[in-house]
Structure 1
Amino acid sequence: MPLKSPLHAVDASAVQSGVSMDRHLPKTPQWRQNLLRALITGVAAMGLGVALWQRPSQLDVVSVPQLAKVVAGEFRDELAVRARVEPIRSVLLDAAEAGRVEAVFVREGEWVEAQTPLYRLHSPEQEQLLMERSAEVAQQIANVSIQRSAQAASLAQSRRELAQLQASQQQAESEYERVAQLTGKGFMSVAALEQAQRQHSLATQLLKQAREDQRFEAEIRQRSLDEMARAVEGLQHGLELLERARERLTQLAPTAGRLSGFHLQVGASIRPGDRLGRIDDVTGGMQLRAQIDEYYLPRLEPGLTADSSSGALTLTQTLPQVQDGKVQVILQWPESVSPPSNLRPGQTLEARLQLSLPSPALVLPEGPGVQSQLYVRAGEQLVRRNVRLGRRAAGRVEVLAGLQPGDEVLISQPPSDAERLALP
């Protein structure tokens, strides 16, 4: 086998290692390297700017923001209320009888004097009951009259019988005395005397028994008549009540004043206890009645003052009953001040009830977004922050901690509870 030359061996190893395939490239110019670095830096900056520009769009956006600034001012601890004017003295008109309205004599808002007819009812049931009771009373009176007549006849008969028995007793007594005298002189026998004595005793006993029987019968008849008389008296009393009830079918004004809430119409049916209206005695003074949220109930004390377009008032009473989350308070003018003469019952007035004296504080307008966690403006974003709030009154909130004067706060309802929100 022929041996290869050393040259041939070197070429073969070069081919196997790939050295023979390498070649020298020309060096990149400096200006091209600088341009490449500038392009890479610009693209990176553009990408970062796009990322930063797109970041707020990922936050929840407040579509219609309502912003307000925190200001250092005076916090007025007062409530704005709408009160209704009403008289201090008024009389309620409740139906006392049932029936159908037959006539109405007055109208809503009219001034009526005491005992003025207001309306008249018609009650067929009451008319029928009155007729039945009248017939019953007449029947019982007739029965009493019959019993009295029978008693008079019985007494007359008893008197006649008693007179006859008394005459018989007197005759028997005289006969006994005559026989006793003749027997003593020997003209009549002892047997005749004994017979006369027995006749006298019998006549005396019959007379005594008749008197007792007549007295007992008279007592029984009298008790019966007394009971019937009491029954008749009770029926007559019931008849008087029915007649009074019939009179009450015409309702009279219990006092003088102006009718309020009186809307009765002819043909309407009413029942006992139905509220028909009231009579306001405007000469007794006027007052205001207002409804306040039960949240303020612990602070509603008599003596608080209130300002209105009709002058200063004083809270005199807080009604304790809570209805629909509201309590009612009574506001009155001082005794030395007369209410305006143009006020009318049912009219409404605006008033501001002062719960405490004004004091310096940081204040913020009231709104649904003003809570213990609210959003404060930071550039084009809103950042959630924990704050401490105090009293709320008259549409303003007292800020105790967490905010500074000039901070701009979202007072409207935020779209979510995220840490950050975006402004439109």
Structure 2
Amino acid sequence: MDREIPKEVRDKERRNRIIKYAVAVGAVVVVIAVVMSLMRSSVNKKDIVLATVDRGTIESSVSASGKVAPAFEEVINSPISTRIVEVYRKAGDSVDVGTPLLRLDLQSTETELNKLLDQSQMKQYEIEQMKLNNNTRLSDLAMNVKVKAMAVSRMEVELRNERYLDSLGSGTGDKVRQVELAYNTGKLELEQLRQQLENERQVRDADLRVKELELNIHNKNLAEMRRTLSEAQVQSPRKATLTYINNQVGQQIGAGEQIAIISDLSHFKVDGEIADSYGDRVSVGSHAIVKIGREKLDGTVSNVTPLSRNGVIAFSIQLDDDSHARLRSGLKTDVYVMCDVIEDVVRIANGSYYMGKGDYDLFVVTGGDELVKRKVRLGDSNFEFVEVVSGLEPGDQVVVSDMSDYKNSNKLKLK
């Protein structure tokens, strides 16, 4: 007959099992920790990138983002408020000078043009009528002046005769004074007529010039309307590629609204943006390098916007080779604007580790098989090199690849 195991024995066996399990788990944890520690404390040479510190020249630069854009791009806007009647081309088509792009509804504009033509003709008739009236009025006044001049001449003769008769005693003093008064009055009236003729001529000339000026202004408006009507016949102004066109037939569009864009896709520029804190280091004429993958294209900063918008300053780069095969409109690029040349400095290769001037913890090769973390101060840079201010000497080998997995380690074995 089986006997019941005492409670003390059962508790002891349970404690032994728990201790065994705890020891086993602890051993596994220790093994894992040791393995991870061994893995963490060593690094394979083929998994890192080493750069040798040397001495040389750095053409310092600031980095910016860039976007490839056509060197020439023209926006075509609607000159009038109208609607689209027909579309002749689609985006991506190559167009030549004068190629029709689309047709707008021009009925109301043509009606307005005809109205202006009629008004111009009417104003011309008004000017001709005014010239005839002016000639008639001025001719009448000129004739009055001539008649009055003849009358004054006759009065002058009568005055001489009366004075002669008075000297012979055949006339009287009263008669002489009467004729003399009439003669003087006639001269004043003649002078008044001549002045009236001159004033009338000036007034009529001024009125005529006003009418001619009104006609001139009207003809300019007419020419502007003709130009607007001509532009409403939407055609390509040059040989290029149609990159955008409003193809919504029947859509109402306002005056000045964009309806098409043509671009020269054989030549390109780069539009860059940089933080406004670096704005003073970018100027027109600065040398710039545009990186597209592994390709490096040289260029020159051709334009810098004077205003900061949303914390960035925009600028444009004119490329030396603006028809390079890698250039595509809208392509994102890295841009480096050269600022200054620093001669005879300690330098290392640029890499993902560099985030700007300051202090860094970099791993340096020592003894051939060990990496030791060292405090290094870095300065200016370009896309190839970084200036070493302190912490490294020429000949040192430095890890320039990502070592964030080993940020808590001070030494690493190099395998």
* Distance change in 2, residues 1:35/1:331 (3 Å): farther
CA–CA separation in structure 2 for the residues paired with 1:222 and 1:37: 138
3-state SS in 1 of match to 2:242:
strand
CA–CA separation in structure 2 for the residues paired with 1:185 and 1:149: 54
- 2:313 pairs with 1:339: no
What's 1:206 paired with?
Answer: 189
Matched-pair identity in %: 15
- 2:407 pairs with 1:401: yes
CA–CA separation in structure 2 for the residues paired with 1:281 and 1:360: 36
- Alpha-carbon distance, 1:303 to partner: 4.8
What's 2:125 paired with?
Answer: 142
Q: Deviations over 1:207-227 (max 9, x none)?
A: 222112222222222222222
- 2:48 pairs with 1:74: yes
Residue type matched to 2:349 in 1?
L
3-state SS in 2 of match to 1:261:
strand
Residue type matched to 2:324 in 1?
P
CA–CA separation in structure 2 for the residues paired with 1:185 and 1:328: 107
Residue type matched to 1:214 in 2?
L
CA–CA separation in structure 2 for the residues paired with 1:336 and 1:238: 46
CA–CA separation in structure 2 for the residues paired with 1:198 and 1:328: 90
What's 2:247 paired with?
Answer: 264
Q: Is the 8 A contact 2:272 2:335 kept in 1?
A: no
Q: Is the 8 A contact 2:266 2:323 kept in 1?
A: no
What's 1:415 paired with?
Answer: none
Q: Deviations over 1:342-397 (max 9, x none)?
A: x7646x68x78999936699xxxxxxxxxxxxxxxxxxxxxxxxxxxxxxxxx966
CA–CA separation in structure 1 for the residues paired with 2:336 and 2:405: 19
CA–CA separation in structure 2 for the residues paired with 1:48 and 1:122: 95
Q: Is the 8 A contact 1:109 1:260 kept in 2?
A: yes
What's 1:118 paired with?
Answer: 101
* Distance change in 2, residues 1:359/1:177 (3 Å): closer
Q: Deviations over 1:97-142 (max 9, x none)?
A: 3322234343322222234443332245544543444444444333
1:12-411 equivalences in 2 (<5 Å): 39-47=10-18, 71-72=43-44, 73-74=47-48, 86-284=69-267, 286=268, 303=288, 306=291, 308=293, 311-313=295-297, 335=320, 339-340=324-325, 345=329, 357=349, 398-399=404-405, 401-403=407-409
- Alpha-carbon distance, 1:171 to partner: 1.8
The count of residues paired between Structure 1 and Structure 2 equals 319
CA–CA separation in structure 1 for the residues paired with 2:293 and 2:89: 34
CA–CA separation in structure 2 for the residues paired with 1:399 and 1:271: 60
Q: CA RMSD in A?
A: 5.0
- Alpha-carbon distance, 1:249 to partner: 1.0
CA–CA separation in structure 2 for the residues paired with 1:337 and 1:134: 49
CA–CA separation in structure 1 for the residues paired with 2:290 and 2:162: 117
Residue type matched to 2:14 in 1?
V
Q: Deviations over 1:266-319 (max 9, x none)?
A: 3233223433343222333x4677999x8xx99x9975663537x444697799
- Alpha-carbon distance, 1:154 to partner: 0.9
Structure 1 portions without partners, runs of 5+:
1-31, 56-67, 362-394, 408-424
What's 1:63 paired with?
Answer: none
CA–CA separation in structure 2 for the residues paired with 1:76 and 1:98: 66
CA–CA separation in structure 2 for the residues paired with 1:133 and 1:255: 31
Residue type matched to 1:43 in 2?
R
Q: Is the 8 A contact 1:75 1:360 kept in 2?
A: no
